[in-house]
Amino acid sequence: MVYVTGKVRKPGVFVLAAGSRVADAIEAAGGLRKGAKPGGVNLARRLVDGEQIVAGSPATAGAGAAGGSISGAAPGMPEGGAVNLNTATVEQLDALPGVGGVIAQRIIEYRDAHGGFQSVDQLKDVPGIGDRKFADIRDKVSV
């Protein structure tokens, strides 16, 4: 189940088959509006249950869901302080203590390859995240 919004013909919540891609979700929403481009959305990425797809937003390409920060939140951090591993952008992950751009990209690659995170503990399976780094960020992330 995903929420598709932005420059699509019929924004809304859609239930799609397991293994569906972002392109499938945009198609379920009636496709892009005339003249609209997908923006920074990776059309080939597998969907994660509960995510929001914002078609036509200038998010970082390949960064997963294009939700960005919630209004009123500190730059790079969503409101409430916890970064959702299944929807976070590279920039939001990079803002976590001890996580740089390379590790942030590895987290997104892991998320895309495994259909999302089911548990925060799966971060330990991402190359470059050891016990110490995991302990530093465990309370700052969610699924």
**What are the sequence ranges of the domains in the chain?**
2-55, 83-142
25-51 burial: b if 16+ Cβ within 10 Å, else e: bbbbbeebeeeeebbbbbeebbbbeeb
Correct CATH for 83-142 of 3.90.1410.10, 1.10.150.320, 3.30.70.20, 1.10.150.120: 1.10.150.320
pLDDT the model gives residue 13? 92
pLDDT the model gives residue 58? 55
C-beta of residue 108 within 8 angstroms of C-beta of residue 62: yes
Each residue's pLDDT tens digit, 21-76: 889 999 999 999 888 888 777 888 888 888 888 887 654 333 343 343 333 333 44
Whether the per-residue pLDDT at 105 is higher than 80: the answer is yes
Question: Per-residue confidence at 114, pLDDT binned at 50, 70, 90?
Answer: confident
Terminal C-alpha separation, the chain: 15
